[in-house]
């Protein structure tokens, strides 16, 4: 048997093994139960188990996306309120087949909550990966800007949880303008002593990583998160060079000083709560 045949056989055996394992996991599926398959190890995780485990794979400990209400439940004290500022959902360059979806009425790529973390009042924005990969469009830009303006007015600290593919190409230049709009609101907020904690989760890319996600007073990463501008595949194909395994990974970015720290999900509530408390006397006091 040639080396190539042996390699093909190995790949085939691996696929069969993986599929049979998946089938076994799926066989335990109950009616209407949602199942999420881990991209790294192939383990099928039940939604209820994932929720209990902070959306971390029970087999290989890799992180599933955690956004919106689930993120608020993990981070905030009970009794928080989900709010919005009634920003318009527009199609500024009349991009074909954009904004025709029924889901537009109910949702968009950001959710905002007003609440407390360990008793410290805070405004939190969380990008939603299930809506156009958390991309930054005019609605998202407006909502986040209005949240920062409210925080400035009421002297509250803010937390923005990024999980985004970048600027929304369906909105062209209007999408890119949101980067400047949010950055300038953050500048004014910071000038008056406002505290901004940025939590960068997997993935934080493009225009989001190049603007507000990197502007926190604290830039905190989740373990293993991919954070960068262009994706590794694009860079690899453009440069035609081998890219290191840890390229654009949170751990590597922490070594270079781009991130201040990496915090595991189970510790985020406590550590962010402590940071808020530490700054409480100067800003964010109720
Ligand atoms: Zn896994």
- Dist. CA 196–CA 189, nearest whole Å: 9
What is the pLDDT at residue 103? 67
CA–centroid distance, 283 to ligand 1, in Å, is 41
Residue 192 and residue 210 in contact, taking contact as beta carbons nearer than 8 Å: no
- Dist. CA 143–CA 275, nearest whole Å: 25
Cβ neighbours of 2 (radius 10 Å): 7
**For residue 126, which of 78, 86, 101, 158 has the smallest C-alpha distance?**
158
CA–centroid distance, 248 to ligand 1, in Å, is 21
Q: Which residues contact 199 (CB under 8 A, 6 or more apart)?
A: 159, 160, 161, 162, 220, 221, 222, 268, 272
Q: Is the pLDDT of residue 161 over 80?
A: yes
Q: Compute the C-alpha angle 212/216/220, nearest 5°.
A: 110
CA–centroid distance, 64 to ligand 1, in Å, is 9
* Average pLDDT for the chain: 89
> Prior bond to 203 cis, omega within 30?
yes
Antiparallel, parallel or unpaired: β 158-164 and 110-117: unpaired
Same domain, 179 and 132: yes
Same domain, 55 and 75: no
Q: How many domains does the chain have?
A: 2
DSSP string, 116-179: EETTEEEEEEEE-TTTGGG-B-HHHHHHHHHHHHHHHHHT--EEEEEEE--B-GGGHHHHHHHH
CA–centroid distance, 57 to ligand 1, in Å, is 5
CA–centroid distance, 270 to ligand 1, in Å, is 25
Same domain, 38 and 140: no
Confidence at 6, pLDDT banded by 50, 70, 90: low
The boundaries of the domain holding residue 108 are: 66-278
Instruction: Give domain status of residue 284, yes or no.
Output: no
- Dist. CA 186–CA 65, nearest whole Å: 26
Residue with structure tokens 């950055």?
A: 183
CA–centroid distance, 178 to ligand 1, in Å, is 35
Query: Which among 24, 40, 64 is the end of a domain?
Result: 64
Query: Which among 64, 83, 118 is the end of a domain?
Result: 64
Same domain, 217 and 178: yes
CA–centroid distance, 106 to ligand 1, in Å, is 31
What is the pLDDT at residue 114? 97
What is the pLDDT at residue 62? 92
The per-residue pLDDT for range 98-107, each reduced to its tens digit, is 887 676 777 8
Same domain, 162 and 57: no
Instruction: Give domain status of residue 184, yes or no.
Output: yes
The per-residue pLDDT for range 120-154, each reduced to its tens digit, is 999 999 999 999 999 999 999 999 999 999 999 99
| C-alpha of 83 from chain center | 19
CA–centroid distance, 59 to ligand 1, in Å, is 5
CA–centroid distance, 15 to ligand 1, in Å, is 16
Over its C-alpha atoms, the chain yields an Rg (Å, rounded) of 21
Residues lying with their CB under 5 A of ligand 1, a single-atom ion:
38, 40-41, 43, 57, 59-60, 62
**For residue 77, which of 286, 273, 281, 285 has the smallest C-alpha distance?**
273
The per-residue pLDDT for range 214-238, each reduced to its tens digit, is 999 999 999 999 999 988 888 888 8
Same domain, 41 and 127: no
Mean pLDDT, rounded, for 84-92: 93
CA–centroid distance, 34 to ligand 1, in Å, is 16
Same domain, 22 and 138: no
């Amino acid at each position: 048997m040639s080396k190539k045949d042996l390699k093909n056989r190995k790949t085939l055996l691996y696929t069969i093994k993986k599929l049979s394992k998946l089938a076994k996991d799926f066989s335990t599926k109950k009616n209407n139960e949602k199942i999420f398959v881990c991209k790294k190890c192939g383990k099928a995780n039940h939604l209820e188990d994932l929720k209990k485990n902070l959306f971390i794979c029970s087999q290989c400990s890799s992180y599933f996306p955690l956004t919106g209400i689930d993120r608020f439940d993990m981070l905030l004290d009970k009794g928080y309120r989900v709010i919005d500022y009634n920003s318009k959902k527009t199609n500024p360059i009349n991009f074909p087949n954009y904004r025709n979806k029924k889901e537009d009425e109910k949702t968009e790529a950001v959710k905002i909550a007003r609440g407390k973390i360990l008793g410290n009042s805070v405004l939190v924005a969380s990008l939603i990966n299930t809506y156009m990969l958390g991309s930054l469009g005019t609605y998202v830009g407006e909502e986040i800007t209005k949240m920062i303006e409210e925080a400035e007015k009421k002297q509250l600290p803010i937390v923005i949880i990024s999980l985004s593919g970048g600027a929304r190409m369906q909105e062209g230049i209007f999408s890119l303008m949101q980067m400047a709009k949010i950055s300038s609101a953050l500048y004014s907020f910071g000038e008056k002593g406002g505290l901004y904690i940025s939590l960068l989760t997997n993935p934080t890319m493009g225009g989001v990583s190049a603007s507000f996600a990197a502007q926190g007073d604290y830039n905190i990463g989740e373990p293993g998160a991919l954070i960068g501008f262009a994706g590794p595949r694009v860079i690899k194909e453009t440069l035609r060079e081998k890219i290191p395994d840890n390229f654009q990974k949170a751990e590597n970015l922490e070594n270079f000083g781009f991130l201040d720290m990496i915090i595991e999900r189970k510790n985020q509530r406590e550590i962010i709560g402590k940071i808020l408390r530490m700054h409480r006397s100067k800003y964010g006091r109720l």
